[in-house]
Amino acid sequence: MLTYPTLTSMLQAPVLLEGQGVQVLYAQIAQLLAGKTGGASEPEREVMQLGFSAFTPHAAALGVTRYSSLDEVPAGSIAVHTIAGVMMPFDSYYAVGTGTIGLRVQQADAHPSFIGHVGVFNTPGGSTMGLEDFANVIAGTQKPFVSLVQQACSAGYWSASGGNVVMLAGKTAMCGSIGTMAEFLDFTGYFEQLGIKTVTVNASKSVNKNASYQAAIDGDPEPLRAEILDPLNEVFLSTVTTNRGDKIPAKQLELVTSGMVFVGEANLSNGLADLMGSLDEAVALAEQLATEADSIDSSLSSSKNHMSLFAKKLVLGAAAHALVTAETITPEQLTAANGELTAAGVTGAQLIAEAAYSDLSARAGRADTAEATARGFTDALAAAGVTDIAALVSQRDAFKLKADLYDKGPGAAHTDPTLVAGATDVDKEADANQKLIAQLPHNQALDNNPLFNN
């Protein structure tokens, strides 16, 4: 229901809203103007009474549980944030503003009991007031953020696109309306019926004050387009292309950012979403991403240049996620997934099919055997004093040639002796010392001994 505070927020800043949301808003404005809603007496809601919604691991069967304070949240929980209805910066009795939701995201992101986030989006968009801050909060979480989209149009998609993963809640889920337009009501005729005349006076130097809006009322939209719409739209498109540009096919980028709304699986092919699933699957994915981040953080804990994976929102797109549940994977799917790796800045790694991996492993085994054999050959060559097979063959041929020469010599031939028969080359002339030794008495006794005269 539209209330005075909500109407004030709508009138204080431009809105980024999908077409059906605009019509619903107009109907509520008409009721407000007709006095059929008592928004003026709207009670205020204390921010602290909103509590925290979480999906806890030990009570998964109970679904989302609400806790009044952070200290009550069990460790390992996934924070669940709901962004529903027309997005307004402030809280109302009927809705929570983006300011409060953003605060809850930051608090959960900083608390050790939470390991990740799931944002449930069911919104046609809303006010630009506070929108950039809110979207930056989602894009800047240190813990993984999964955007589960039932409807995320215009300002809603601006915010949802900052998640690590955009998951469609079903085949009727809607994304898009990425564009900017102005649509406002001219109450001149209505006030005239009430006897109210609008009087406008500008300061002497304020010649352009609200001139673009008045020009649009008078039938000239160009000043408003140039002054407000185009600059605002550039910021919108820049945010989406920063968050999702590597996932949106280049040939579809112009169409996707032209303001169209896409339903269901069309968002997978155009890159606005990564995969389709339920709330339970979104929670499971957030847990998986958190586990992967912990593993990476542990391996890099000693690095001085350590940076959280999710601070960079390094997340693969639809092509990579499609491999998770695929029973068979085609070469085309692998090529697409590897393209996402490259686009995400991942270098030095590529995905391959299991069969190809097995083949490469077998080849690696055979290569190890061949390397060992080759090493044996190398050692044998070194022992032979050569460096290659050609040198070994040359060496073999040389030795064979010598062997052939010896083998062909006459086997009965012999060398002539250098001495005649009975001659010796022993010097029989005793020297003087020997004569002295022979003349010693005991040697002469031995010479005369019959035992030595035989």
pLDDT, tens digit (0-9, with 9 covering 90-100), for 226-277: 998 899 899 999 999 999 878 899 899 999 999 999 999 999 999 999 999 9
Predicted confidence at residue 110, as pLDDT, reads 94
Residue 420 or 106, more confident: 106
CA 44 vs CA 35, 244, 429: distances in Å: 20, 38, 143
% of the chain residues with pLDDT over 70: 71
In eight-state DSSP terms, residue 18 is -
| Helix H or strand E encompassing 54 | strand 52-55
DSSP 131-145: HHHHHHHHHT-SS-E
267 within 8 A of 173, measured Cβ to Cβ:
yes
Residues 396-438 pLDDT 10s: 888 777 777 766 666 555 566 666 666 666 666 656 777 777 7
Instruction: Report whether pLDDT(308) > 50.
Output: no
Which amino acid is it at 177?
S
Instruction: Please write the tens of the pLDDT for every residue from 315-363.
Output: 455 566 666 556 678 888 788 878 877 766 676 777 887 777 787 778 7
Instruction: Give me the residue spans of the domains in the chain.
Output: 4-280
Residues 6+ apart with CB under 8 A from 203: 209
What is the distance between the alpha carbons of residues 101 and 279, in angstroms, rounded to a whole number? 19
Confidence of residue 200 (pLDDT cuts 50, 70, 90): confident
Q: Average pLDDT, whole number, for the chain?
A: 78
From 153, 158, 194, select the one nearest 33 (Cα to Cα). Answer: 194
Contacts of 358 (CB under 8 A, 6+ apart): none
- Domain 4-280, what fold? 2-enoyl-CoA Hydratase; Chain A, domain 1 (3.90.226)
Which letter, b or e, does each residue of 333-344 get, where b requires 16 or more Cβ atoms within 10 Å of its Cβ?
bbebbbebbeeb
Distance of CA 421 to the CA centre of its chain: 102
> Which residues, in sequence order, are CB contacts of 5 under 8 Å at separation 6+?
39, 42, 90, 92
The number of residues in the chain equals: 454
Nearest to 13 by CA among 228, 237, 236, 214: 228
Tell me how far apart the alpha carbons of residues 169 and 122 are, in angstroms, rounded to a whole number: 10
Per-residue pLDDT tens digits for 73-91: 889 999 999 999 888 888 8
Q: pLDDT digit string (tens) for 133-156?
A: 999 999 999 999 999 999 999 999
> What single letter denotes the amino acid at residue 345?
G
Per-residue 3-state assignment (H helix, E strand, C coil) for 56-77: CHHHHHHCEEEECCHHHCCCCE
Helix %, strand %, coil % of the chain (to 5): 50, 10, 40
Classify residue 111 by its DSSP letter. S
- What secondary structure letter does DSSP report for 87? B
Secondary structure of residue 152 in the 3-state scheme: strand
d(C-alpha 400, C-alpha 76), whole Å: 80
To which residue do tokens 């002497």 refer? 204
